[in-house]
Each structure stands twice: as C-alpha cells, then as structure tokens.
C-alpha cells in the first residue's frame, strides 16, 4: 500500500505538475524549448487547479446524482432496508480529543447526513471502512463511535476490512445480503457517488443515492471564482482522482 500510494501521488496532479517544473529546471540549458513546454504545463496546471471556478465546473461533470429532498427522508424506509455510510479517512491522534483518532471532516459530513436520514426514516446503519495503513481502529469503528456519541445514532453493522470503493461495496454485500438486505441508501460525497453507485450495483444492491457535500454549485466566491485558493488545489486533486477512478473501475472491474 505505501509504495502504491507513493507512485500514485507522483503520477496524479499536483505531483506530476511539480515533476514537470523540476524537469523544466533540469533541461533549462540543454533543451530550452522542452524546458519551456514543461514549465508552461506545470505552472499552467497548478494555476488551473487553484481556481474555484475550475473546481465548480469539473465537479458538475461528476455530480450527476441529485440530492434527496428533505421531505422524502421519512419515506426512505419504503425504498431501502439499510443506510450505508462510506468511510473517508481519519485524522491521527488529535490532541483535542485526548490523542485519539477521529473521522476526517469529509467522513463527518457523511455521518451527519446519514444520522439525519436514519432518524427520519428509522433505517438501520452500516459503516464501511477498513484500517488506515494497517493501524486500528478501523474507519468503520471510528464512525460508529462518533455516530453514537455525537448524533445518538446506533450503528447496527460495521464493515471493517475495505480500502477502496469497490471493496466497500463487495464487503458490505457479504454483511448485508445474507440477511436479505439488497436495497441500500448509500451516503458519500456527491462527486464520489457515480463510482459508489456503480460499485454497489455491481455487488448486487439496489441503490438509493444520498449524495452530500456538493462542489459544483455557486458558492458565492469573490471575483467569480477566478482568484487562486489553496483549498481549490486539494479539491481539484480529489476530482481528478475520482475521474480517473471512474474510468479505471469500468476497465478493471
């Protein structure tokens, strides 16, 4: 896993863009035209990734599933048998919480939404997410603890072995389908929902998408989102990773 992660970080932006800038510096005297092209691609790519407007437009291509209408939450029990919340990483050893690990803010956004859906519908909840680089507790366990402590929602099942979206679906199927549960509400980020729905449907589920955290909306940023923002670089990286994953899943799975 660490080697794969290392390679991936340099093959995907912004890593590959930094490599282009390094190549431009290396070839600046021996191959000035190639160096200029690398510099333009590297710097131009970083500039585009830093623009909120680019994030907004790119997200709209991935966020194809509409949000659930709040007035429909109570009726979810007629369309599904369980709610599945997908893990989204964790923050290690936060001193504010006595040095214990905590779900990432993306995971918290999913958990908050899932808690509201569970309270409105009465559906049982499964949390899905394995160990982070082999270190316990699992993401599923962390989410279950915080759902109970912070939102007063008890988790019925925990899938604690997955590391990818495909495994989220396949291993959740091993937990739920022997119980006769094949209709699930899947809670994840809006830009991650296409790949999540595809994976869960391939695993034999009927999916009710419950996307949260939409990026492809007008967030009222100044200057129409044309000023660089550091957060936009991270968001662009997430969207690019998702686009590559969406294509890769259809090729390899």
* Reported pTM: 0.93
Cα atoms found within 13 Å of the Cα of residue 38, Cβ hemisphere only: 17
Q: Is 64 helix (H, G, I), strand (E, B) or coil?
A: coil
Average pLDDT over residues 216-240: 91
pLDDT digits (tens, 9 = 90+) for 187-210: 999 999 999 999 999 999 999 999
CA distance 63 to 152: 30
List, as own/partner pairs, every contact residues 215-224 make where C-beta atoms lie below 8 angstroms and the sequence separation is at least 24, other chains included.
Answer: 215/55, 215/56, 215/59, 215/63, 215/190, 215/191, 215/239, 216/56, 216/57, 216/58, 216/59, 216/60, 216/61, 216/62, 216/63, 216/190, 216/191, 217/56, 218/56, 219/52, 219/56, 221/52, 221/53, 224/53
Domain over 66-212 is classified CATH 3.40.50.620: yes
Task: Please answer whether residues 185 and 177 qualify as being in contact, where contact means their C-beta atoms are separated by less than 8 angstroms.
Answer: no
Average pLDDT over residues 79-105: 95
Taking the alpha carbons of 47, 57, 59, 247 in that order, is the dihedral positive or negative?
negative
CA distance 79 to 86: 19
| Domain coordinates in residue numbering, the chain | 2-61+229-252, 66-212
pLDDT category of residue 8 using cuts at 50, 70 and 90: confident
Computed over every residue of the chain, the mean pLDDT equals 95
pLDDT category of residue 135 using cuts at 50, 70 and 90: confident
């Amino acid at each position: 896993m660490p080697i794969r992660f290392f390679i991936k970080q340099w093959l995907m932006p912004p890593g590959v863009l930094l490599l282009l800038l390094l190549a431009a510096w290396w070839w600046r005297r021996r191959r000035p035209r190639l160096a200029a092209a690398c510099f333009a691609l590297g710097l131009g790519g970083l500039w585009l990734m830093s623009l909120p407007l680019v994030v907004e437009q790119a997200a709209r291509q991935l966020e194809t599933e509409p949000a659930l209408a709040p007035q429909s939450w109570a009726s979810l029990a007629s369309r599904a048998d369980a709610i599945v919340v997908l893990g989204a990483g964790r923050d290690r050893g936060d001193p504010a919480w006595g040095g214990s690990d905590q779900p990432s803010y993306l995971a918290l956004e999913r958990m908050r939404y899932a808690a509201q859906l569970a309270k409105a519908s009465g559906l049982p909840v499964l949390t899905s997410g394995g160990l982070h680089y082999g270190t316990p507790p699992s993401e599923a366990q962390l989410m279950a603890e915080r759902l109970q402590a912070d939102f007063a929602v008890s988790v019925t099942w925990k899938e604690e072995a997955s590391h990818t979206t495909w495994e989220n679906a396949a291993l959740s199927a091993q937990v739920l389908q022997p119980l006769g549960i094949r209709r699930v509400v899947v809670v994840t980020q809006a830009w991650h929902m296409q790949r999540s729905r595809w994976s869960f449907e391939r695993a034999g589920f009927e999916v009710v998408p419950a996307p949260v955290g939409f990026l492809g909306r007008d967030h009222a940023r100044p200057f129409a989102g044309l000023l660089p923002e550091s957060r936009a670089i991270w968001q662009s990286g997430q969207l690019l990773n998702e686009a590559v994953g969406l294509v890769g899943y259809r090729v390899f799975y």
